[in-house]
Amino acid sequence: MIKFLPLGGALEIGASCFYININGTGIILDSGLHPRQKGINALPDFELIKNENVDAVLISHAHQDHIASLPFLIRNHPYLQIFMTVQSLEIAEKTLHNSSRILKEQLNENDLIVPYSHEEINLLLRTVREKDYNEKFYINGIASSYTKELEIEFYDAGHILGSAGILIKTQDGKSFFYTGDINLSTQSILNGGDLPDEKIDTLILETTYGATDSKLLNDWRHEELRLAKYLNKIFSNGGSVLVPVFALGKTQELLSILNRLMKKGLLIETNIYSGGLSKEISSVYDKHKYKVKRKNKNFELKDIPQLNLYEIKDFNEFRRNPGIVLASSGMMIKGTKSYELMKNWIKYDDFGIVIVGYMDEESPGFVFANSKKGDIVKIAGIENPVEIKCNVEKFYFPSHSKREDLIEIVKILKPENVVLIHGDPEAIDWVGHKILNEFNDIKLYEARKGNWLKF
Ligand SMILES: [Zn+2]
Ligand SMILES: [Zn+2]
């Protein structure tokens, strides 16, 4: 029997973490931190599995909402076998220390957890068993009632470097596929993802863009030209542009877009400000250029001239030397670089803010994704409502599948059971209704934190 229990990230893009028990073998899929919640509230609810046996944890990719609570999980279950792709491990070596520092700042003495140390992270990372895409590996839990091990395989998910969908197969022919965050379409650097070439029994499907009209996501090339036009207008008036982006994934894709537009003469050659963690992650992208499916194997991010954003101490520098500023966090969460810059940025009518990624409804970024120049808005952390004097524009460079592709995944894998996760309620609703309308014989399940499902 297969039992499935969400510990977080079910009806939201939050602390993704799912427990699955397959005939006695306990596996955890992802161990994320909520991108917006603080301190202990950002963790998955590990209490839910305190009486369950857990043998292994499989990490789909190195975004914070999928990996950043791993040290806490390992503290509760120190004997767990940890598996992730080679690339995810290299990225985690750069990012987990940063997540630990942020969490440490947020925790107070009323929280009953102790932040993890850099030594703990280093030790943890040394125990990771790294796997290539499509390299089969095997897990057998101590309480397994199978005689043969479970067979596991990572499939390139096309979302960010190292991202994987996870296939688990049992000796009696049952199969289970967890998409992680998946993107079937080509981005600027990465090619679209792969799916198993076989029928799946149970599919755990992400639904990030379930509520987004695909007309907006369809034409990457069209968006690039629209972006160039918008940026050129601001640069020719002497303004700078702030782009809040995740250091992992979106920054690298955007650098590649800007570079190509400048090379083709479609975008005014200008300064690009970046740095910090994103630069270290870009070096991992460069290192693995031959190992993963990429559009252009010769392209390297380090060849793109970039100024170090973290060396700029005086805001007027963005007026003296205008340019495009790629700053994390992607959702302009309070206390981050993009949030701090935004507070000044909005005062200047010749400056611009470009929104390119998914925004949580309660994040400051969401306010900008749904506002325009001249609007008076309330931003978390700023006491009084403020006027947005700068220009604001939204562009779509998706790193998740558009919603029709999510249905396509169902069509290809022909599952009997589908569990929808990793989306806002409206997104899950759209995908759920579509599946019920198009497929008569699929059992659809809603995932809820703490709610057991059995297949
Ligand atoms: Zn992701
Ligand atoms: Zn995610």
CA atoms within 13 A on the CB side of 155: 21
User: pLDDT-based confidence at 70, cuts 50/70/90?
Assistant: very high
Q: Is the pLDDT of residue 217 over 80?
A: no
Q: Is the pLDDT of residue 276 over 80?
A: yes
Q: Is the pLDDT of residue 112 over 70?
A: no
Domains and CATH numbers, the chain: 2-212+399-454 (3.60.15.10), 218-394 (3.40.50.10890)
Q: Is the pLDDT of residue 208 over 70?
A: yes
Q: How many CB atoms lie within 10 A of CB 305?
A: 10
Distance between Cα 440 and ligand 1 center (Å): 31
Which ligand minimizes its atom distance to the CA of 63?
Answer: 1
Q: Is the pLDDT of residue 138 over 80?
A: yes
Q: Mean pLDDT over residues 401-411, rounded?
A: 96
Distance between CA atoms of residues 252 and 229, nearest Å: 21
Distance between Cα 250 and ligand 2 center (Å): 13
Distance between CA atoms of residues 275 and 413, nearest Å: 40
pLDDT of residue 106: 72
- Of the given ranges (18-27, 44-53, 92-101), which has the lowest mean pLDDT? 92-101
Which ligand minimizes its atom distance to the CA of 159?
Answer: 1
Strand, helix or coil for residue 199 = coil
**Which residues neighbour ligand 1 (ion) by CB within 5 Å?**
63, 181
User: pLDDT-based confidence at 215, cuts 50/70/90?
Assistant: confident
- Of the given ranges (67-76, 213-222, 376-385, 390-399), which has the lowest mean pLDDT? 213-222
pLDDT in tens, 278-318: 999 999 999 999 888 888 888 999 999 999 999 999 999 99
Distance between CA atoms of residues 378 and 396, nearest Å: 24
Distance between Cα 3 and ligand 1 center (Å): 25
CA atoms within 13 A on the CB side of 56: 26
Q: Is the pLDDT of residue 164 over 70?
A: yes
Which ligand minimizes its atom distance to the CA of 183?
Answer: 1
pLDDT of residue 305: 95
Distance between Cα 390 and ligand 2 center (Å): 30
Percentage of residues in the chain with pLDDT exceeding 90? Answer: 82
Average pLDDT score over the chain: 93
Distance between Cα 423 and ligand 2 center (Å): 9
pLDDT of residue 378: 95
Q: Is the pLDDT of residue 401 over 70?
A: yes
Q: Which of residues 360 and 267 earns the better pLDDT score?
A: 267
Distance between CA atoms of residues 432 and 23, nearest Å: 28
Which ligand minimizes its atom distance to the CA of 16?
Answer: 2
Distance between Cα 267 and ligand 2 center (Å): 31
Q: End-to-end CA distance of the chain, in Å?
A: 7
Distance between Cα 69 and ligand 1 center (Å): 14
Distance between CA atoms of residues 271 and 307, nearest Å: 7
Closest CA relative to residue 55, chosen from 139, 136, 123: 139
User: pLDDT-based confidence at 218, cuts 50/70/90?
Assistant: low
